[in-house]
Amino acid sequence: MGRLVRDRILSEVASYVNKAGRIGKLVSISIGEVPEIMIYVRNQAAAARAAGLGFDQQLWSADIPQEACKAAIQAMNDDPEVLGVILQRPVPAHINVRSLQSAIHPLKDVEGMNPASIGNIVYNDVAMAPCTAAAAVELIRETGLTLEGLEVVMVGHSEIVGKPAANMLMAAGATVTVCHHMTRSVAMHSRRADVVLVAVGKPHLIGADMIKPGAVVIDIGINQMTGADGAVTIVGDVDTDAVSQVAGWITPVPGGVGPVTVAILMRNAVNAHRRQTDAGWIG
């Protein structure tokens, strides 16, 4: 499911790159060696290769000062060979990640993490939206549902997933309810929704009794669970086995939102190229 959507988006990006010619490279910044990050970097590098985009993987020392990070990012902003900058997370404790995200120029912010990129969503400018939020919306469209008038419940209100996804869906005409840890009864809201999106980081939070029959469920959660035998499995925020008996359409974890998120990153790179061209940065 997710992989099919990923492949379609990457094919569209590759077609654009083939017509445009060389359009610069993506630069991935990892601060300190974090094994979990490398999985994401490998997936991003593979998607870039499939789309014909250059990908420069940089590993910075874990003790690099904040100001040195900002100076390096600002140099990339000025480098015409750099199409977009990706700041991998997590970062060391002494690094202010929001400050570095703000340092990436909005026209090179392919992750959609600069406050300007997130704020633009309110004005229905979603070309550089946060990738996971955009991936969730893309998967809803994949169901064939018309977003106008759709009753949607977003469980989770993070700045980089829940809030952007809610705003993107409202911009598309959906009626959106956002639930969070202070919501008195999530089930009261989710049971009436045509579409339920979940991004809270709690394994199997959403059960079958919380979903309307035939509803679409987009599971954005990624959680590690260790079984009695010590084996580690990746599960979402939805009890997939139970909910799949009720829902009309559900995204798996893994293999659902994740692959599409990486493809959206490449689509954002194409949008970055368009905007940099319009701004006169590229001849």
- The 3-state DSSP class for residue 155 equals strand
Look at residue 43 and tell me whether its pLDDT is greater than 90.
Answer: yes
- What three-state secondary structure class fits 68? helix
Q: Which residues of 261-280 are buried (b: 16+ CB within 10 A; e: fewer)?
A: bbbbbbbbbbbbbbbbeeee
Residue 22 confidence (pLDDT) = 81
Cα–Cα distance for residue pair 150/174, rounded to 1 Å = 5
Give the residue carrying structure tokens 């990006």.
13
* Region 197-203 average pLDDT: 97
The whole-number pLDDT of residue 131 equals: 97
Go through the domains of the chain in sequence order and give each one's CATH number: 2-106 (3.40.50.10860), 131-252 (3.40.50.720)
Position 30 scores a pLDDT of: 98
Indicate the length of the chain as a whole number.
Answer: 283
* Per-chain mean pLDDT for the chain: 96
Q: What is the pLDDT of residues 227-254, one digit of tens each?
A: 888 888 999 999 999 999 999 999 999 9
What is each CA distance from 209 to 61, 238, 268, in whole angstroms? 48, 11, 37
Q: In this structure, what are the phi and psi dihedrals at residue 96, rounded to the nearest 5 degrees?
A: -85, 100
For residue 108, the 8-state DSSP code is G
Q: Rounded to the nearest 5°, which phi and psi values hold at 158?
A: -70, 160
Asked if pLDDT for residue 282 goes beyond 90, the answer is no
Task: Summarize the confidence of residues 184-195 as an average pLDDT.
Answer: 98
User: pLDDT digits over 103-122, tens only?
Assistant: 999 999 999 999 999 999 99
- pLDDT band (50, 70, 90) for residue 144: very high
The two tokens of residue 172 are 């598309």
| CA atoms of 132 and 115, how far apart (whole Å) | 16
User: Residue 283: pLDDT band by 50, 70, 90 thresholds?
Assistant: low
Q: Token match 């829902």: residue? A: 247
Task: Kindly report, residue by residue over 270-279, the tens digit of the pLDDT.
Answer: 999 999 999 9
Following DSSP, what letter does each residue of 89-110 receive, concatenated?
S---TTS-HHHHHHHS-GGG-T
pLDDT of residue 249: 97
